[in-house]
Amino acid sequence: MKSLKKSILNCRININDDDIFIDELNKLVKKNGADTYRAVIQILTDHDLDSEEAKKNWIEIITHRENISSALGRKVSLMTAISDYWGPKKYLKDHKIVKISVYEKAIKESTHDNLTGLFNKGYFRNTLNQHLSLAKRNNTDLSVLFLDIDDFKEINDTFGHHSGDLILKEVAHMIKQELRTSDIVARFGGDEFVILMPNTYKADALVLSERLRKAIKQNTIKIKDKSLQITVSGGVAGYPVDARKAETLLNLADNALYRAKGAGKNNISLFIEDNRRFLRIKFNRTIQVKHLGFNHTRTLSGTSKDIAIGGILFENKESLPIGTKIQVSIPVTEDSEPLLLIGTVVRVEAFGPNKFDIGMILSFKEMEKTAKDEISKFLIQQSDEKGR
């Protein structure tokens, strides 16, 4: 219905000739059915009728316009015919004719932030609930990124609110440039932005968020003859791994944002449950680390430190970029095959020359896929051997 209304609005705004506008509506009726009548009645008169009632009224409006035009010997406008048509209808009291530009402005203001042009908080909350329902129905992931501008209050105090508004608009523009077409961004209030990433696991959302953070940092904004380098901090939480309700998901992403702020700003933090709630054990083994999906990349040797259900912490001589997908081979016992873990790098900390702590969050979907691939290879191999 929303896209249908947009099509009708575009027709009304771009077509001045009523007869051509009516012809275009007839084409939309053939494509979208009786809902077109309901949409056009809503747009032109602000009345919400069911589709069949709207169709009946629309056909009568067109006939009424033809009769008036014939009686006067000249064509009357569609809006004149609508006004005259509604007059005798007792069940439609206090009707109004709406100017299209005014209607379009009202619709936009109800869903968009006036300053940045992004969606507003109300629209985002409704959209998040809809996408959560789809994710639940289709058994897919979904992630939310809370983002805010570092030291924005100081910028406002130093350069004034007008400059602050300019920075908000510039950052909003940069966010829109970097996002995928499927992502939805809104200004949540003040200098906070929130981004919905449908069909995105939270480790992958971290990669996208890091790319966005770096892109914003690389840009400079001129304020009163001074070039400012703006940085942002963010927090990521995901459905269903972290939360299943919209409000909880937003709160967890917000918590991760404050963790990023506390870590020194200009970084993105994943929401991670308090480790004390899960079994985490010290696990000292020599491990093999390799980039996922690249058969000819070299294998790195590291040392595991501890392991939990959701991830592993290990020491490595080389840093690994956050967001890198890796596979880690861990010898559990001398007699058994090594444990193969697959996941995404979400934390890197240097604590000495050629000494880095690497935190990896496990990706059970990737491990499941790898397991299925290995089984498929085994079955094909067995089938070929039997066929010989």
The answer to whether 206 and 149 are in contact (CB under 8 A) is no
Q: Count of CB atoms within 10 A of residue 257's CB?
A: 25
Structure tokens at 274: 């308090």
Q: What is the pLDDT of residues 210-238, one digit of tens each?
A: 899 999 999 888 887 888 899 999 999 99
Three-state secondary structure readout of 108-124: HHHHECCCCCCECHHHH
pLDDT over 50 at 344, yes or no: yes
Residue type, 128: L
Portions of the chain given CATH number 3.30.70.270: 112-272
Q: What is the pLDDT of residues 154-213, one digit of tens each?
A: 888 888 888 899 999 999 999 999 998 889 999 998 899 999 999 998 888 988 998 999
Determine the Cα–Cα distance for residues 156 and 173; give it in Å rounded to an integer. Answer: 19
Determine the Cα–Cα distance for residues 281 and 15; give it in Å rounded to an integer. Answer: 69
The residue count of the chain comes to: 388
Structure tokens at 86: 């509604």
For 12-52, the DSSP string reads HHH---HHHHHHHHHHHHHHHTTHHHHHHHHHHH-----HH
Determine the Cα–Cα distance for residues 335 and 69; give it in Å rounded to an integer. Answer: 94
pLDDT over 60 at 346, yes or no: yes
The single residue listed with the structure tokens 């809104």 is 186
Determine the Cα–Cα distance for residues 23 and 169; give it in Å rounded to an integer. Answer: 40
Give CA 48 to chain center in angstroms: 31
Coil, strand or helix: which one is 338? coil
pLDDT over 60 at 91, yes or no: no
The answer to whether 220 and 229 are in contact (CB under 8 A) is yes
Instruction: Report the CATH fold assignment for 277-371.
Output: Thrombin, subunit H (2.40.10)
Higher pLDDT, 110 or 42: 42
Determine the Cα–Cα distance for residues 323 and 316; give it in Å rounded to an integer. Answer: 16
Weakest mean pLDDT among 35-39, 83-87, 88-92, 175-179: 88-92
pLDDT over 60 at 90, yes or no: no
Structure tokens at 24: 């275009």
C-alpha distances out from residue 196 to 15, 212, 244, 356, 366, Å = 35, 14, 14, 32, 23
Average pLDDT over residues 348-352: 82
Residue type, 304: S
Higher pLDDT, 284 or 229: 229
Portions of the chain given CATH number 2.40.10.220: 277-371
Q: What is the pLDDT of residues 6-57, one digit of tens each?
A: 777 777 777 778 888 888 888 888 888 888 888 888 877 767 788 888 899 8
Determine the Cα–Cα distance for residues 5 and 332; give it in Å rounded to an integer. Answer: 61
Determine the Cα–Cα distance for residues 65 and 86; give it in Å rounded to an integer. Answer: 12
Weakest mean pLDDT among 64-78, 155-169, 296-310, 342-356: 296-310
Cis before 240 (ω within 30): yes
Helix (H) or strand (E) holding 2, with range, is helix 2-14
Q: What is the pLDDT of residues 226-283, one digit of tens each?
A: 888 999 999 999 999 889 899 999 999 998 898 888 777 888 888 876 544 445 667 7
Q: How high is the pLDDT of residue 278?
A: 46
Determine the Cα–Cα distance for residues 180 and 308; give it in Å rounded to an integer. Answer: 33
Instruction: Report the CATH fold assignment for 112-272.
Output: Alpha-Beta Plaits (3.30.70)
